[in-house]
């Protein structure tokens, strides 16, 4: 790829990013059905594609030339060809207390991204959009009315979330390679993200019909938008090298990630009013404004995040390809805060920790026309100490996942595009101390498109 074609590619990336940002409304929707999303910025997303989701979110040490990995920006230059990736997730969740349970479900577009190798794969460029956090809950309770046999209905709802539109770059600092293809390399990368969105929460007090007075509701809106930065590093080297007689090898990948702490620009307001409910239609009609308060501007502190991962890429003598990896990630949510004008918002939060093990198997890495031999088989397990502290205990979560990546074309040199599907079964929280336990099944669908070997996207053809 020449310098002029690289410039055209960069312009195309910026154009696609602009189109993505125009879809602000599509990405600012609520993508959570968890009551625990009530706290902080909501449920924080891990930024993985379906390929990494199928390995319980293992991503930091993953170095795959045929898959996109936004979780570690140091991998962008390693892709074999331009990539377009899109993903969608569907979740079924059952929330339990000691005495009750409730089923919910939702679906959401999880990611949209494009990436390009540049300058003979020394540089890599990527752009995309994905959820950063999500809020989506609805809680209903009853409160007895004094001197009456009736009860008032209490409703607590929250919707919205923050989205992340990012532009990333990676650079290969050095690479040493022998004539057989054994090599070691060190690369770095960074993403600059525009984080934006709304968090809307409503509290309602609804009286039964019969002269108890007007109903009451209080609405609060938080608007966030600012820039964020995260960085990655990847070091890869061969533990066992290929020879002329033996093409098997073992490569170790060591990855590091870091998200810079940032104070996000934040504005907020609250509105309280009385209202009536139509007896037949159920429509709410505002009556009187009790108060309106524009908090003004302030900041939301998003803390630092640190991650490390180690993976082994192995190809056996029979061309069977294995990948095993582990990673650890922690986020300093005990330092989080939100201050808008004279108002301080606070939830008790702790530092989160996550431990992941994942693996990927392709039965025949090199030459095969059989679907089952060219399919990726993935699985992983995860344990997480969540950031939420409720009833003096820090909540825990764990899950197991599995999935497959099916080639769209069996001739990988012609087109390495794949259709990926992954399933995670997990649990969050506990029913002890009057808390809530969430059991869920989440299904992730992903499409990774790469061009035919005779076609290079965004490169102008030349004829003599």
- What is the tens place of the pLDDT at every residue in 409-433? 766 556 788 999 999 999 999 998 8
Residue 369, Cβ neighbours under 10 Å: how many?
Answer: 9
Q: Select from 354, 423, 425, 424 the least CA-distant residue to 395.
A: 354
CA angle 154, 158, 163 (to 5 degrees): 180
CA distance 155 to 159: 13
Tokens of 230: 């995260």
447 — pLDDT class (breaks 50, 70, 90): very high
CA distance 5 to 17: 18
pLDDT tens readout for residues 98-119: 888 888 888 888 899 999 999 8
DSSP 56: T
- This prediction has a pTM of 0.87
CA atoms within 13 A on the CB side of 169: 10
285 — pLDDT class (breaks 50, 70, 90): confident
pLDDT tens readout for residues 366-375: 766 788 888 9
> Who wins on pLDDT, 262 or 452?
262
pLDDT tens readout for residues 371-392: 888 899 999 999 999 999 998 8
Q: What average pLDDT does the chain have?
A: 87
pLDDT of residue 209: 73
C-beta of residue 34 within 8 angstroms of C-beta of residue 426: no
> Who wins on pLDDT, 410 or 406?
406
pLDDT tens readout for residues 215-235: 999 999 999 999 999 999 999
Residues 6+ apart with CB under 8 A from 147: none
pLDDT of residue 277: 87
pLDDT of residue 151: 85
170 — pLDDT class (breaks 50, 70, 90): very high
- What Å distances lie between residue 152 and 42, 217, 277, 278, CA to CA? 28, 13, 13, 16
**3-449 belongs to which CATH class?**
mainly beta
Q: Average of pLDDT values for 187-199?
A: 96
pLDDT-above-70 percentage for the chain: 88
**Helix or strand run (H / E) with residue 354:** strand 352-362
DSSP 349: B
Buried b (16+ CB within 10 A) or exposed e, 219-255: bbbbbbebebebbbbbbbebeebbeeeeeebebbbbb
pLDDT of residue 346: 79
Residue 11, Cβ neighbours under 10 Å: how many?
Answer: 11
pLDDT tens readout for residues 305-318: 999 999 999 998 88
pLDDT tens readout for residues 22-39: 444 444 455 578 889 989
> Who wins on pLDDT, 118 or 13?
118
């Amino acid at each position: 790829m020449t310098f002029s074609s690289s410039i055209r590619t960069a312009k195309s990336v910026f154009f696609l990013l602009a189109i993505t940002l125009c879809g602000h409304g599509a990405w600012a929707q609520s993508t959570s059905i968890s009551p625990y999303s009530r706290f902080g910025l909501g449920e924080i997303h891990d930024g993985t594609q379906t390929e990494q989701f199928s390995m319980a979110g293992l991503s930091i040490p993953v170095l795959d030339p045929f898959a996109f990995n936004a979780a570690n920006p140091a991998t962008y230059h390693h892709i074999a060809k331009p990539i377009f990736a899109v993903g969608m997730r569907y979740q079924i969740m059952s929330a339990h207390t000691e005495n009750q349970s409730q089923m919910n479900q939702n679906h959401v577009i999880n990611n949209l991204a494009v990436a390009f190798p540049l300058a003979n794969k020394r540089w890599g460029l990527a752009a995309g959009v994905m959820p950063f956090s999500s809020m989506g809950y609805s809680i209903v309770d009853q409160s007895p009315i004094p001197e009456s046999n009736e009860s008032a209905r209490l409703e607590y709802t929250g919707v919205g979330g923050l989205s992340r539109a990012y532009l990333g770059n990676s650079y290969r600092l050095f690479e040493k390679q022998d004539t057989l293809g054994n090599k070691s390399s060190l690369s770095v990368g960074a993403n600059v993200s525009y984080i934006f969105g709304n968090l809307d929460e409503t509290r309602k007090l609804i009286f039964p019909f019969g002269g108890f007075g007007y109903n009451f509701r209080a609405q609060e809106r938080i608007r966030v938008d600012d820039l964020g930065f995260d960085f990655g590093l990847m070091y890869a080297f061969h533990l066992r090298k290929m020879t002329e007689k033996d093409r098997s090898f073992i490569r170790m990948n060591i990855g590091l990630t870091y998200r810079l702490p940032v104070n996000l620009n934040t504005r907020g307001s609250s509105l309280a009013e009385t209202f009536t409910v139509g007896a037949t239609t159920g429509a709410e009609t505002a009556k009187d404004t009790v108060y309106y308060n524009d908090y003004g501007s302030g900041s939301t502190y998003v803390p630092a995040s640190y991650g490390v991962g180690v993976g082994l890429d192995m190809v056996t003598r029979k061309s069977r390809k294995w990948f095993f990896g582990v990673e650890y990630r922690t986020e300093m949510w005990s330092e989080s805060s939100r201050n808008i004008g004279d108002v301080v918002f606070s939830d008790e939060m702790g530092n989160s920790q996550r431990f992941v093990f994942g693996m990927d198997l392709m039965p025949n890495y090199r030459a095969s026309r059989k679907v089952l031999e060219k399919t990726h088989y993935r699985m992983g397990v995860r344990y997480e100490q969540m950031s939420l502290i409720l009833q003096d205990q820090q909540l825990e979560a764990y899950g197991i996942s599995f999935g497959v990546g099916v080639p769209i074309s069996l001739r990988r040199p012609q087109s390495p595009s794949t259709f990926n599907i992954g399933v995670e079964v997990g649990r969050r929280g506990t029913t002890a101390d009057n808390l809530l336990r969430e059991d869920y099944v989440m299904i992730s669908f992903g499409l990774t498109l790469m061009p035919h070997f005779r076609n290079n996207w965004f490169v102008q053809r030349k004829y003599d």
